Each structure stands twice: as C-alpha cells, then as structure tokens.
Amino acid sequence: MVTKHKTVSERKLLGIAGMGWMFDAMDVGMLSFIVVALSQEWGLSSREVGWIGSMNSIGMAAGAFLFGIMADRIGRKAVFIITLLLFSVGSGLSALVSSLALFLILRFFIGMGLGGELPVASTLVSESVPAERRGRVVVLLESFWAGGWLIAALISYFVIPEYGWRIALLLSALPAVYALYIRMNLPDSPRYVSRQNEKKPSIWQNIKSVMAKEHLRQTITLWVLWFCVVFSYYGMFLWLPSVMTLKGFSMIKSFQYVLIMTLAQLPGYFTAAWFIEKIGRKFVLVTYLTGTAVSAYFFGTAEELPFLMTSGIFLSFFNLGAWGALYAYTPEQYPTSIRGTGAGMAAAIGRIGGILGPLLVGYMVAQKYSMTTIFTIFTISVLIGALVVGLFGKETKNTELAG
C-alpha cells in the first residue's frame, strides 16, 4: 500500500476522488429539480418541499460528524467507499417509493452518505498533495461539483418532463458501481497510513482536541463560516428551480434557465483555484463570499428575465468558487490525528444551517413573504461568514500540514 502512495499521480487521485464528488453533486442538484416535479405530482405544500431539503441536511449533519470521526479511526479510503455506497443505494431505493414519509427517511440516509463523503474526500486529497499545490488541487476537486450539477440539470431537463422523476433518480444510483471500482484503485492518505501504527486517541479525546485552546479560534471561525455558507447555499440553490416557477416561469423554462446559471459554476471554481495559490485562502473566501452576497440580493429583487439570469449567473460563479476555497481551507486548520474529526465537525455544524435554510424558505413562501426579503436574509448570512473569516481566519497558503 505504501508503495502505491509513492506512484499514484495527482491527476489520478483527483479523478478518482472527483468522480465521487461529481456523483454527490448530481444527487443534490437533481433533488432541487425533482422537488418541483414531486410538488406537482404529490400536491406538496411549500412547507413539505422545505422538509425534503432539510431532511437531506439532517442526514448530512449526522454523516459529516459520524464519518469524520470514523475517518480518523479506520482511514479516509474506507469511509469514502462506505459513504458512496450509502447514498447510491439510498438514491436507487427512493425512486421506488410512493409516499413522502418514506422519501424523507431515505433522504436522511442519502444525506448521511453525502455529508460524510465530502469532508473526507477533501481531507484525503489535502494529505496527498504538496503544500504549494494543495489549495489549487482541492478547489479543482470541488469543481467536479459543477460537473455533477450540470449532469443533474441535463438529466432533469431532458428526462423528468419526458420519463418522470423516478427514472432520473435511478440514473443517480449509478455511483454504487463506481464505489466498488474505487475500492481497488484509490490509495489511502499517506499521512494517515504513516500514523497507523501509532496509538490512536479515543473518539472523545479527538473531539476535545478540536475544542482545545490551541485550536479553538480556528474551530469557532470554521463553524460560523460553515453555518453561514451552508445555510445560504441550500436555502438558495435547492429552491432555485422552484423560485423560477414562483416567479411565473414554466417547469421546462425554469429547468432551462437554471441549467444556464449552473454553467457559471465552472469558471467560478477555476478562477478560485488560480487565486487561492497566488493570493491566498482568505482573499478568495472574503472576495467570493462578498460577490455571493451582492448577487443573492439582486437575484431576490429581480423580476425581469435578463436581471434574473445575470444575477443568477454571478450567484453561481461566486458561491461555488467560495465553496472550493472552503473545502481547501478547512482540513488545513488541524493536525493529521484530528483532521477528519475537525473537518467533519465543521461540516456537521454547517449542515445545521442546511436544515434551517430550505425550511425557512418553505415557511416564508407559505406566509407570502417576498423573494426580496428571503434573499436579503441569505445576503446578510453570507456577509457574516465573509466578515468572520476576514477578521479571525488564519491564512494557510503554502504552509505544510501539521502532524
């Protein structure tokens, strides 16, 4: 196993981990389109639609916390495979259900897989790449998310109106086959393997270490940052096709417009990947989060299609660039022994925001609040995240990972 670590290329590692990331995004992206079809077919209220997104995030919070801890106990690779299988099988089964209750239960398990996979994959890649390229490579890993969203948008646009949402969900279950493939092809983190023979701290000791005085500042900074980013992202993006229909566009037109907005995610990632090594993590986070906040405000206030599309494109560009920087930045805050736990706990706190965001939109829509009011809340949330990381965040550009 150790020799394999010496020979596996960055490109191969990025491809293997990135494909898993892409399948995650495909599932989350497809859900935002499926809820439009589900609400029409099952006659769901806006509150019930909000619960679908929130149940996904409840699972993601549980998965990020549980699997982050497991990654420090049994290895990054094992957890990566388990989480891929969990959400893939869950997606396939959810295509067969006919009640909201069963759909919500399966969304919890799918969410667990998604929530566990993302911080563990970024930790694995962070530990396998030299310091001078680490930020760029992790942001490029995140760029596979845009690829997954594009596939989701294409499947939703061409498949859901013609063949229904069940076929679309079955297509998203394909990662189960891929998970078996990576079992043979993905090496574990060389940093984790080098420490395998050392006595491992208990789970409780790892949790206490994350909260210890020497890590407390970065832990609180990460928790606030994650909460603000995830709260606004899932509140806005899971509702994006629904917002377009609420603004008077047909389901087909809404899917088409969201597909165009999604294309802007790719240049968002690629510019963030360039800036993150040239200028630094904090610059990218503050700049791209501020851009997200401004775009969110104008998207909420826009009524005419040109303004909706322009603000939506900028929203996708800046928000997903910020996500890339967030995943690069988080694992760099902790030593190897608690890196999985620290990243998982930060992501879990973030997922609480992911629970509240979609619920908030659902309840505010039901109470007839305007989109301007709803998106102003997300604007403020993102600005708080930018302010906190700008004031209290620790720059980690070109620094070797601790431990």
DSSP per-residue letters across 236-254: HHTTHHHHHHHTT--HHHH
Total domains in the fold of the chain: 1
- Give the pLDDT confidence score for residue 389 in this predicted structure: 95
Assess if residue 253 is contained within a domain: yes
With respect to residue 272, please indicate whether it lies within any of the assigned structural domains.
Answer: yes
- What pTM did the predictor assign? 0.80
Indicate whether 201 belongs to any domain: no
Residues of the chain with pLDDT under 70: 1-8, 175-176, 179-180, 183-184, 196-197, 398, 400-403
User: In the structure encoding, which two tokens stand for residue 197, read together?
Assistant: 């023979």
What interhelical angle do 10-41 and 175-185 show, nearest 10?
Answer: 160
Residue 188 lies in a domain: no
Domain hosting 112: range is 7-183+209-392
CA nearest 26: which of 244, 175, 233?
175
pLDDT at 62: 92
The pLDDT score that the predictor gives to residue 164 is 86
Contact indicator for 317, 267 with CB cutoff of 8 Å: yes
Q: Would you call 43 helix, strand, or coil by DSSP?
A: coil
Residue 368 domain-assigned (yes or no): yes
What pLDDT, on the 0 to 100 scale, is given for residue 5?
43
Q: What is the Cα–Cα distance from 1 to 13, expressed in whole angstroms?
A: 14
Do 361 and 239 meet the contact criterion of CB atoms below 8 Å apart?
A: yes
Q: In this structure, is residue 113 part of a structural domain?
A: yes
Q: In the prediction, which pLDDT does 280 show?
A: 87
Of 73, 74, 103, 75, which is closest to residue 90 (Cα–Cα)? 103
Q: Are 172 and 45 in contact (CB under 8 A)?
A: no
The label of the residue with tokens 């490579």 reads 137
Amino acid at 97: V
Contact between residue 145 and residue 22 where contact means Cβ atoms under 8 Å apart: yes
Is residue 377 in a domain?
Answer: yes
Residue 43 Rama label (left phi>0; alpha psi -120 to 50; beta): left
Residue 398 domain-assigned? no
213, burial (CB in 10 Å: exposed 0-12, middle 13-18, buried 19+): exposed
**Which CATH number covers residue 317?**
1.20.1250.20
